[in-house]
A = this chain, B = another copy of it.
Amino acid sequence: MEQFSPTLPLLSDEELDPRARAVFDDIRATRNTDFINNFWRALAHDPANLERTWGELKEIMGPGTALDPLVKELIYVAVSTVNNCTYCVRSHTAAARGKGATDEQIAELHGIVAAANKTNRLAIGLQVPVDDAFL
């Protein structure tokens, strides 16, 4: 499907400055694939932000943390859904599948996201005071 062009053009490998190229190299090595998705190509106009953002995701989304990598991807999909970010829902749903998420888990996730959005608005609209037990 044809889509809008991005705000700043996606940079090809040939157009990268050395700092951005080093990040792309690390993305390829970390993920063990030659594929670089559009998000990083749009971000490459600002190598400092590219470095920071990739560094942050690499640090928090991989193994060896208190939360399981799949759980972290599911949380990412949940936030992206609430923020209505199509790119993010698609890319992190793909990542969640790559980490083993089943269709049933994805469907269940959206049931929880939906219920939370519902009860969030009830608590806000009814102006429910926080119980002492939760403080």
Contacts and interface: CB of A to CB of B under 8 A. Distances in A.
Interface of A: 1-8, 10, 35, 37-39, 42-43, 45-46, 48-49, 52-53, 55-57, 59-61, 65-67, 71-72, 74-94, 102-131, 133-135
Per DSSP, are chain A's interface residues mostly helix, strand or loop, or mixed? Answer: helix
B82 A39 contact: no
Q: 4 tightest A-B contacts by CB?
A: A79-B116, A3-B129, A81-B125, A118-B118
Contacts of A2: 1-2
Contacts of A131: 37-38, 91
A127 B49 contact: no
Contact of A130 (B4, B59, B71, B105): B4
